[in-house]
Structure 1
């Protein structure tokens, strides 16, 4: 029986991750006001020697590092971290964290407090502040907190900011949900659809508890494959949740058109049309 609601942190690191950003990300976890946590880092293929040296310097009582030779993608590595967390039997919650973002020091405390008081919520995200390469704020992203509205608007807006999420371990243990590891991107959206399809609630704290980095490669990564996966994810959601409508279909087609448009148009839309 767990008396203290321990938090496990699930992260993945791969070859493109920048050491300085990774250090900031992990430091933001190590400096949490809520101190009962353990970090699980899955290393997805070959990484630079300086990143490996840094990871090896982390206290094994605080972080478990697992190295993998092959690059299998985020979904596979997060599923592996989730399996380790469940097998340990020590945790009530799993917090997501990316290797270039920054968590507010109160993040875990705020999320654990909310989940402790709202037993029907299984996935909890937060508002975020988007930042540039130099940590300058670019945009405040406000998220919907009402679970019913999140379900209703899932075609037109992703329910949560993936790196800000805290899950109940029961979501993966009792309900047997996982990321679809055949996907190299958009895996989080499919998971949100599966969560809602199980009749479970998703919510957000309207506090900016994560700084989300928008680097120079952000829009380049949203290429053809990402566009197709996003299109397919909306069709998946409409099928799973029985929410086919003219409005949802039109939005899905327009989203695909936007994702396939030239980069300047994507940047403009991302900045001014949200």
Structure 2
């Protein structure tokens, strides 16, 4: 491992709000151990305001930013796959373009890697907030140890995507990100953990704030979303990543939740899935 060196990987597309993007980038630049490189994938043409935010950071931090520009919007999976390949460091920290990282996040993750060089991916809890980080609506917790993560992964994703720091080569060896609608993270992490035996650890503290909205749970409902869930989890079953029992409990269970009224779905998520 290149001690104390890591790359931040972020994808941005045209719907992002400039103020959110600015705050997100700043939270990574203000880390107690700052990044050695910041890769931004512009996933399709951006607004002038978004480009201005990025250009200002480039001007203020010469040599830090690597910019990849997609002529059209490819989607999160293909965009991040490009960013992985372009990163110059062996360790990469994911960051979403509208969220916020605690300023000790990357130092904590680097320390975990240093203590156990066999680890290949390290995540944490995340706090879900609306409007500002003082308005936290729930804490999303995940299992800690590699053994617990492997067991949990057979029914639900055991690693929270934007919180992770992972080894570049481990991602590439597992097939990198692929174009899997809504599930590019779970798809990658299942391949890493369940097929390629990637050793993983989750810090049992919130080091990340993920932005949600009042319609967060509404977007996770409906027949179309239920179909996407069922198709993905059936694919996981066919690959041998989960048993038939796991598929029935996880896949069909989530379909039922998708079809619940929004108020009941919100209650279920915040009571049982967090």
Provide the TM-score with structure 1 as the length reference.
Answer: 0.89
Aligned partner of 1:103 in structure 2 is 101
1:219 corresponds to:
217
SS class of match (2:120): strand
Aligned counterparts of 2:219 and 2:41: Cα–Cα separation in 1:
21
172, 181, 185: which one aligns with 2:182: 185
Tell me how far apart the structure 2 counterparts of residues 139 and 187 of structure 1 sit (CA, whole Å).
23
Maintained 8 Å contact 1:159/1:202: no
Which whole-Å CA distance do the structure 1 matches of 2:224 and 2:119 have between them? 32
Cα separation, 2, equivalents of 1:176 and 1:158 = 16
Residues 3, 130 of structure 1: alpha-carbon distance in 2 compared, 3 angstrom cutoff:
closer
Alpha carbons 2:161, 2:185 under 8 Å: kept: yes
1:271 CA drift (Å): 2.0
Paired position in structure 1 for 2:53: 54
Measure, in 1, the Cα distance between the counterparts of 2:241 and 2:192. Answer: 14
Whole-angstrom CA distance in 2 between matches of 1:76 and 1:247: 28
SS in 1 for 2:157: coil
1:202 is the counterpart of 2:204: no
Deviation at 1:248, TM superposition (A): 4.0
- Separation in 2, partners of 1:124, 1:116: 11
Partner residue, 2:83: 81
Cα distance in 2 between the residues matched to 1:42 and 1:22 = 13
- Deviations along 1:233-253, one digit per CA (max 9) or x if unpaired, are 322333334531435423310
Write out aligned runs for 1:1-274 (5 A): 3-59=2-58, 60-85=62-87, 90-135=88-133, 136-173=135-172, 175-181=173-179, 183-196=180-193, 197-222=195-220, 224-241=223-240, 243-274=242-273
Q: How many residues align?
A: 267
Offset, 1:97: 0.3
CA RMSD of aligned residues (A): 2.0
TM-score (norm 2): 0.89
Are the equivalent residues in 2 in contact too, given 1:111–1:166 (CA < 8 A)?
Answer: yes
User: Is the 2:154–2:246 contact (alpha carbons within 8 Å) kept by the matching residues of 1?
Assistant: no
How far residue 100 of structure 1 moved from its aligned partner, in angstroms, is 1.0
Contact kept in structure 2, 1:126 and 1:208, CA below 8 Å: yes
Determine helix, strand or coil for the equivalent of 1:163: helix
Give the deviation of 1:23 after TM superposition.
Answer: 1.1
The verdict on how the C-alpha distance between 1:128 and 1:176 changes in structure 2, with shifts beyond 3 A counting, is: closer
Deviation (angstroms), 1:121: 2.0
Q: SS of the counterpart of 2:32? A: coil
Displacement of 1:75 after TM fit? 0.4
Counterpart CA distance in 2 for 1:21 and 1:270 is 25
Distance 2:94 2:197 in 1: 22
Report if the CA contact (8 A) 1:121-1:202 is conserved: yes
Structure 1 residue 141: Cα displacement: 2.0
Distance 2:217 2:18 in 1: 21
Partners of 2:71 and 2:241 lie apart in 1 by 41
